[in-house]
Amino acid sequence: MIQLQHVSFNYQRQEVLSDISLLFPLGQTIGIAGENGSGKSTLLKIIAGIQRPRKGTISIHNESLTRIHANDIAYLPDTDLFYSFYTTKELLAFYASQFKDFSVQKALEVANFLEVDVNVKLKKLSKGNRGRAKMAATLGRNTSYYVMDEPFSGLDPIVRESLIKGLIQFVNMEEQSIILSTHELHDVEPILDQLIVLKQGKVIAQDDLETIRFETNQDAVSWMKYVTKEKVK
Amino acid sequence: MVREGGYEMTQDFTRDKPIYSQLVDIICGDILKGKLQPGDKMQSVREYSLEVGVNVNTVQRVYKELESMELTETKRGQGTFITSEEGRILRLREDMKVKLVNQFLQSIAAFGFSREEIVQILQREEGTQ
């Protein structure tokens, strides 16, 4: 379990996250939605142990989250941070050199499932295929948590669908969890257990998606619009 | 339902009902249409998750629901099977008929139609087929 208690973060005077308390149990897929600038990326970086909160605490498996304990979390950044002259195979070898929990074999299986040609340089791949390569590298790690910043952003529906199926196929929902931010709620909703909505650095709503449908007859997209508007007034 | 030859677009869901109950309805429909026969082995939870593009936890709930409706049975170490009790399936058929008719009656009442005029149209449709 990852637990955030009263977490705040700011860049100089600008408050990015304020007083966030959240629980992320194992065995779930949790979506984080919110407008641009609502603090999603910063929140994910804090969960992944890349940024330290200015205030508040964060723990994983009941121990304070430090860079050392953060090794049970695999993080997928929203930017292309990789050397573009690497092929996917070389990228996977690089991951293997960085992470003890990395399985080249599993990563290759994911790449194969997503139909990425692992011998082509990343810069020669389409954006969609780079997204797939990134997903293969991330899922090659065997960690309790996968934290993914906008894994579907800017990708066409077919790529999104194959990535979603990759998550179903290669993440073990009995002992792992996925925390991901997304704008593509309509596509992603069927694989989410719960949704957290951020606005101006605060959690304004959080619920189980099947509960939302059952109680409000709304899907994730309309519910999010509803709660976002409510809080503006 | 095809898996060979690439990806089948995932199931689309209406927004007014939980996804698990929509999947239960789809499987009930497959049983009634005979697409799933008594005694047929069902896909594993993960296989079905992949096919419909839905969270494993949600599909687990679907399988639990079908089991509690006694439409399926799980044999240890072998998987989940459609019930071979034909009586249970006949009962599902009857229940579903009543449910659909009730829904229909509610919607014609909402538009203020009388049952008589609707029955007339049903009979006329019957004649043209």
Task: For residue B5, name the pLDDT band (cuts at 50, 70, 90).
Answer: very low
Q: Tell whether B30 and B74 lie within a shared domain.
A: yes
Inter-CA distances, A163 with A32, A113, A184, Å: 17, 9, 13
CATH code (residue B52): 1.10.10.10
Q: What is the pLDDT of residue A160?
A: 93
Q: What is the mean pLDDT of chain B?
A: 89
Average pLDDT over chain A, rounded to whole?
93
Domain with A142, as residue range(s), is 2-232
pLDDT of res. B2: 41
Angle A114-A165-A127 from CA coordinates, rounded to 5° = 45
Q: To the nearest whole percent, how much of chain A has pLDDT over 90?
A: 85
Domain presence at residue B2: no
How many folded domains does chain B comprise?
Answer: 2
Residue range A74-108, pLDDT digits in tens: 999 988 767 889 999 999 999 999 999 999 999 99
Task: Report the alpha-carbon distance of residue A113 to residue B9 in Å, rounded.
Answer: 16
Over the stretch B62-87, which tens digit does the pLDDT of each residue have?
A: 999 999 999 999 999 899 999 999 99
CA-CA distance, B7 to B80, in Å (whole number)? 25
What pLDDT score does B10 carry? 65
Which of B20, B46, B54 shows the shortest C-beta gap to A191? B54
Cα dihedral A140, A142, A143, A146 sign: positive
Residues B24, B54 share a domain: yes
Of A150-164, A218-232, B108-122, the poorest mean pLDDT is in A218-232
Of the listed ranges A20-24, A53-57, A68-72, the least confidently predicted one is: A68-72
3-state secondary structure (DSSP) of residue B71: coil
Q: Is the pLDDT of residue A191 over 70?
A: yes
C-beta atoms of A165 and B50 within 8 A: yes
The domain that holds A168 is classified in CATH as: 3.40.50.300
Q: Do B58 and A162 touch (CB under 8 A)?
A: no
Q: Which of A189, A94, A182 is CA-nearest to residue A133?
A: A94
Question: Domain range spanning residue B66?
Answer: 19-84
**Residue at B105 is within a domain:** yes
Question: How far is B74 from A222, CA to CA, in rounded Å?
Answer: 37
Distance CA A177, CA A144 (A): 6
Asked if B25 and B42 sit in the same domain, the reply is: yes
CA A86 – CA B64 distance, rounded (Å): 46
Count of structural domains within chain A? 1
Residues 33-72 of B with CB under 8 A from A: 46, 49-50, 52-58, 61
Q: Are residues B29 and B80 in the same domain?
A: yes
Instruction: Return the residue matching tokens 């009790």.
Output: B85
Q: What is the model's pLDDT at position A67? A: 67
What is the least distance, in Å, from the CA of A84 to any CA of chain B? Answer: 28
Q: Give the nearest chain A residue to B7 (CA atoms).
A: A162
pLDDT score for B6: 41
pLDDT on residue A19: 96
